[in-house]
């Protein structure tokens, strides 16, 4: 089979976590894979035994670098006649309350988790429209449907990803282009270790007298515990992405983990007032947050 006859799948942030597991699963299937990672992370492919061949390209792509985005899509358009399936997976999480995210950090979170995904979609769409086929798969999060304290800017980025994806779903349906959001909840992995503090939230998490100290203390322990207890592994989420890749008509939203289904049901069926009240009172150590009795 020539490389041209294989559907081209572009995956961002493929050098670790979900992206890497997805890439490994897809390597045995008849696709042309374009696996991307930041320059500094490209070495990891070698460590994982992943090497280039006729059907597998490894390319540098920092998704917030406009030039790299354009160069890569141009190369794919010229040499492989366009991307057939775009998986916007790359992302990161800031743990910080609203007061602890600087202007620069806000832009970085929104650029990585939302704007870059939209920009890549804009670049691949003309070829998809010409072919009247294509899929854009955006890895969202339960944080894109229910916001949690200390995750404000992360949630905002994923809600934005959800909003643009939903609009796009309507816009490109006439060309038979499918748009799907995968919404993982808590994944049982070490990825909580990769959650980043902002400059101010790092200080607050260390300083017991800081007014927001307990927000971080309780939330980070709580999230780590939920991730450890989650029955969903990254492999399960990758399997869901592959189901979307192979399905002729995938839905707009797919729950990535079991808890995502439960959160969705709670969100839809509980009256808003009760939902927010229950969630507030379920927050770990909530009585000790802020001016609470310390
Ligand atoms: N893990 C969870 O519980 C969970 C839950 C809900 C949603 N998600 C979403 O799932 C996706 C994958 O996350 P993961 O759990 O697999 O985390 P991960 O292991 O941290 O993987 C994220 C990947 O994104 C890459 N990345 C970050 N910024 C980038 C940039 N500017 N340019 C290119 N690549 C960049 C990282 O590369 P570097 O290694 O170079 O930084 C890494 O390879 C993310 O969109 C995340 O928001 C995860």
Structure confidence by residue, pLDDT tens digits, 72-89:
999 999 999 999 999 999
From 17, 183, 186, 196, mutation site for ligand 1 pocket: most ligand atoms within 8 A of C-beta: 17
The torsion defined by the Cα of 271, 277, 279 and 280, in degrees rounded to 10, comes to 160
Distance 14 CA to ligand 1 centre (A): 9
Assigned token pair, 160: 């934005």
Rounded CA-CA distance 76/80 in Å is: 5
Residue 286 lies in a domain: no
213-252 residue pLDDT tens = 999 999 999 999 999 999 999 999 999 999 999 999 999 9
Q: Is the CB of 149 under 6 A from ligand 1?
A: no
pLDDT at position 189, please?
Answer: 86
Residue 283 lies in a domain: no
Residue 200 lies in a domain: no
How many CB atoms sit inside 10 A of residue 70's CB? 12
**Against a cut of 0.95, is the pTM above it?**
yes
For residues 128 and 172, the answer to whether their CB atoms sit within 8 Å is yes
Q: Say what percent of the chain tops pLDDT 70.
A: 98
Residue 199 lies in a domain: no
Q: Which residues are catalytic?
A: 15, 140, 154, 158
- CATH of residue 74's domain is 3.40.50.720
| Ligand 1 atom closest to the CA of 142, numbered from 1 | 6
Q: Is the CB of 13 under 6 A from ligand 1?
A: yes
Tally of domains in the chain: 1
From 13, 35, 232, mutation site for ligand 1 pocket: most ligand atoms within 8 A of C-beta: 13
| Ligand 1 atom closest to the CA of 19, numbered from 1 | 16
141-187 residue pLDDT tens = 999 999 999 999 999 999 999 999 999 999 999 999 999 999 999 99
Q: Is the CB of 141 under 6 A from ligand 1?
A: yes
Best CA proximity match to 191, nearest among 219, 146, 218, 223: 223
100-135 residue pLDDT tens = 999 999 999 999 999 999 999 999 999 999 999 999
Rounded CA-CA distance 67/75 in Å is: 12
Whole domain around residue 13: which residue ranges? 3-91+111-185+233-278
Confidence class for position 6, pLDDT limits 50, 70, 90: very high
Nearest CA to ligand 1 atom 44: 91
Residue 251 lies in a domain: yes
Residue 36 lies in a domain: yes
């Amino acid at each position: 089979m020539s490389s041209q006859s294989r559907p081209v799948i572009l995956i961002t942030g493929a050098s670790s976590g979900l992206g890497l597991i997805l890439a490994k699963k897809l390597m045995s299937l008849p696709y042309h894979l374009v696996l991307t990672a930041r320059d500094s992370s490209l070495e990891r492919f070698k460590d994982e035994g992943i090497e280039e061949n006729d059907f597998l390209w490894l390319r540098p792509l920092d998704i917030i670098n406009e030039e790299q985005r354009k160069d890569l899509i141009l190369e794919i358009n010229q040499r492989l006649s366009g991307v057939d399936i775009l998986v916007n997976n790359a992302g990161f999480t800031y743990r910080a309350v609203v007061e602890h995210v600087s202007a620069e950090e806000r832009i970085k979170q929104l650029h990585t988790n939302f704007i870059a995904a939209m920009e890549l979609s804009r670049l691949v769409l003309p070829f998809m429209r010409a072919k009247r086929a294509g899929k854009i798969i955006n890895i969202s999060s339960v944080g894109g449907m229910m916001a949690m304290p200390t995750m404000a800017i992360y949630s905002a980025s994923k809600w934005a990803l959800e909003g643009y994806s939903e609009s796009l779903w309507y816009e490109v349906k006439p060309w038979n282009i499918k748009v799907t959001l995968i919404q993982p909840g808590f994944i049982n992995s070490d990825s909580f270790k990769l959650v980043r503090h902002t400059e101010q939230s790092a200080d607050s998490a260390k300083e017991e007298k800081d007014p927001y100290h307990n927000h971080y203390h309780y939330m980070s322990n709580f999230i780590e515990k939920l991730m450890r207890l989650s029955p969903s592994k990254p492999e399960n989420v990758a399997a869901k992405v592959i189901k979307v890749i192979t399905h002729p008509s995938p839905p707009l939203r797919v729950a990535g983990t079991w808890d995502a289904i439960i959160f969705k049901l709670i969100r839809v069926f509980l009256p808003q007032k009760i939902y927010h009240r229950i969630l507030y009172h379920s927050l770990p150590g909530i009585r000790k947050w802020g001016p609470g009795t310390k």
